[in-house]
Amino acid sequence: MGEDVCGRMVDIMRPVVYQLFVRHFSNFKQGGVPWGSKEQNGCGTFAAITNAALESIARLGVTHLWLTGVLRHATQSSYPDLPADPACAVKGLAGSPYAVTDYFDVDPDLAVKPESRLEEFLELVQRCRRWGMVPMMDFIPNHVSRCYHSTVRPELDFGWDDDRNVFFAFDNTFYYLEPQNSDRALMLPDGEYEPERGRGRVTGNNAATWAPSTYDWYETVKLNYGMDYRHGAGFVNALPGIMASGRSVPHTWWLMDQVLRYWQRLGVGGFRCDMAHMVPMPFWRWAIAKARMRDSRVYFLAEGYNDHMKLTEGDVHPELLAAGFDGVYDSSAYEELRALYESGAWANDLETFNKPDLPRFTGGVRYIENHDEPRVAAKQFWGGVGRKVVRALMVAQYTATASPVLLYNGQEVGEAAEGPGGYGVDNGRTSIFDYTCLPRLQHWTNGGLYDGGEMTVYENGLRQFTARLIPLLQHPALSKGSFYGLNWANQATEGFGREAGETTSGHRMYAFLRHSRKARATVLVVCNFSPKQAMNTCVHIPRNAQEWAGKKPGMYSFVDLLKPESPALTVSDEQLDTEGLPVTVPAGEALLLEWR
């Protein structure tokens, strides 16, 4: 239990965020063709995410539902009063959901009746609430579509009173290219963009050029938060503080607060903030504080990276957490996990990222999939064996820290990015630019029944495993406990993750303790990352680890939380120190053993 700002007692749960990409999730049309239209390939809707779907997601142990791709964005599809956007400024036919054309509207593709799209979205928001999940949506502050124009709140449009004769001005909302020729039009990879003749704007990824490349975010324009990004983080401190108001607040700050205010009033309870590290930290402190004055429980999740055009001189993770975020992508832990299969890393290396003194231990969002990363089951990634080791990966990634957790729709059934593509090409990711589907998830959604009626044995087994694992993340040792790595104590242990010819252990096996002093709860986690070899070995738990976990001399039992029907393992404190706990871990599997 904890206390909110009003003094009320509230339950504090470890956040489990399920990323639901609406266009994909509730698309029941099977098959399709590359570069297919909405009519050819189908498209999910708000209404098709029924109570049956939400109940099943909630029963996985999900606390927050991130409804992805709902804001109206640039597209080559047209609707009454909403003509298609110029093809040269749209990636794919469906278009990128991160090229927003109206912050105050939702995508008509996702509505049964496009003219009632907002009502249909708000009904979904209320259904999420009824199933005990916090509805979240994207907040995309760094950039907008080149075609941005709000039809819902035109008085809050960007750039209408900008000084377009300068690259930067405090109250401008965009950055303008220095004119070389007043008759010149911006040249995008797919042709001239006529609306920016003579007044080109900087792309969302900071490319200040009249001819952005295909590798640039050419379909978007960067927003200005009152500082010239070219000068780097050193100028951020000149921005207003958390109590700023009136004319001291850059115009873009005020506009973005209007966006957050709008959706909060309509019932949205959280925001996944795109490329949060590319926006000045003073803005986040100011905006999140204002949002929390409206709703003390509003949840802010940041996509943030240390090596990608950041606007802070230090580590972006503690900076974003200090600015008010509840969680920040832990990309370092994700990359190290992939390195086990793609770069020759050992399980021993994982302890670098699992230290209680790191801010990301409690605030670094752990994931093995999201819309930007390849599917674990994609054959061209994770050494081609992700499908075989996904259970061990999930346990290692989700149980090592007390941090928030992210699941991506389809991950729970082994989705492998096999739907039709187009602009998204065949890159192991489910395309966010195209009308496509999730073939393996469709075996579970089963035409809208959401009963798993078409699942394979593998898909059913993985989903059941996920449904057992995720609720266990609320175990006090896993949701609030500290970490103690055991690989160092098992370097000489025979069979502890060794491959043929190796004399040192810990290549394919990872073991650690999680312990909550307050709850007097301890869990031993043992992961086998080998896709082929079962591990029959012992896990040594030395005296200092036993003392750390508050254990006194005596007999102890270890109960398998994932398979409670399995017989408990009983050993003495002396055996744990000298002989170790005997375990058998199948290939690609893991054990969660409660130490009693």
- The alpha-helical segments, DSSP class H, found in 102-238 are 117-130
pLDDT above 70 covers a percentage of the chain that reads 98
Nearest-angstrom CA–CA distance, 11 and 364: 21
Q: How confident is the model at residue 361 (pLDDT cuts 50, 70, 90)?
A: confident
Evaluate if residue 369 carries a pLDDT over 70.
yes
Q: Is this structure's pTM higher than 0.75?
A: yes
* pLDDT at residue 235, as a whole number: 74
Residue 158 CB: number of other CB atoms within 10 A?
20
Whether residue 510 has pLDDT greater than 70: yes
Q: Tell me how crowded residue 224 is: count the other CB atoms within 10 A of its CB.
A: 26
Residue 352 per-residue DSSP state: G
DSSP helix/strand/coil, 263: helix
Residue 7's region, left for phi above 0, alpha for psi from -120 to 50, else beta, is left
Q: Is pLDDT at 231 greater than 90 in this prediction?
A: no
Q: What is the pLDDT of residue 308?
A: 81
Percent of the chain with pLDDT over 90: 90
The dihedral region occupied by 118, where left means phi > 0, alpha psi between -120 and 50, and beta the remainder, is alpha
Q: What would the two tokens of residue 224 be? A: 């200005």
- Check residue 181 and give its pLDDT: 64
d(CA 469, CA 467): 6
Is pLDDT above 60 for 6? no
Instruction: Name the range with the highest mean pLDDT among 48-62, 165-179, 304-318.
Output: 48-62
- The architecture in CATH of the region 481-595 reads Sandwich (2.60)
Q: Closest by alpha carbon to 482, among 415, 540, 403?
A: 403
* DSSP-based three-state secondary structure for 458: helix
Average model confidence (pLDDT) across the chain: 95
* Residues facing 222 on adjacent strands: 143
The DSSP line for 184-200 is PPEEETTEEEGGGSS--
Q: 2-159+246-279+293-303+325-472 adopts what CATH topology? A: TIM Barrel (3.20.20)
- Which pLDDT score, from 0 to 100, does residue 180 have? 66
CA 157 to CA 154: how far, in whole Å?
5
CA distance 591 to 585: 7
Per residue in 568-591, pLDDT tens? Answer: 999 999 999 999 999 999 999 999
Tens of pLDDT, residue by residue over 72-106, are 999 999 999 999 999 999 999 999 999 999 999 99
Tell me, what's the pLDDT at 196?
94
Q: Note the pLDDT of residue 1.
A: 37
Beta strands in 497-560 (DSSP E): 509-516, 521-528, 535-539, 555-560
Average pLDDT rounded to a whole number, residues 476-504:
95
Among 72-86, 353-367, 465-479, name the one with the lowest average pLDDT: 353-367
Domain coordinates of the chain in residue numbers? 2-159+246-279+293-303+325-472, 481-595
pLDDT score of 357: 77
Per-residue model confidence as pLDDT tens digits over 238-265:
888 898 888 899 999 999 999 999 999 9
Q: Looking at this protein, which amino acid is placed at residue 384?
A: G
Given strand 16-21, what is the order of strands in its sheet? Answer: 364-365, 327-329, 299-302, 270-273, 134-139, 64-68, 16-21, 405-408
Region 222-240: what's the mean pLDDT?
86
C-alpha–C-alpha distance, residues 22 and 269, integer Å: 17
pLDDT band with cut points at 50, 70 and 90 for residue 8:
very low
Coil/strand/helix, residue 326: coil
Q: How far is CA 377 from CA 21, 383, 528, in A?
A: 18, 10, 17
Q: 116-149 pLDDT, tens per residue? A: 999 999 999 999 999 999 999 999 999 999 999 9
CB atoms near residue 5 (< 10 Å): 9
Helix 457-472 and helix 386-399, axial crossing angle in degrees, nearest 10: 10
- What is the average per-residue pLDDT within 46-73? 98
Tokens 């001189």 belong to residue:
313
For residues 206-221, average pLDDT: 96
Our measurement of the distance from residue 253's CA atom to the centroid of its chain's CA atoms, rounded to an integer in Å, reads 24
Amino acid at 352: T
Residue 199 to residue 184: CA distance in whole angstroms: 8
439-465 average pLDDT score: 98
Instruction: Determine if residue 97 is left, alpha or beta; phi over 0 gives left, psi from -120 to 50 gives alpha, anything else beta.
Output: alpha
Non-local (6+) Cβ contacts of 100 within 8 A are 71, 72, 73, 140, 144, 145, 148
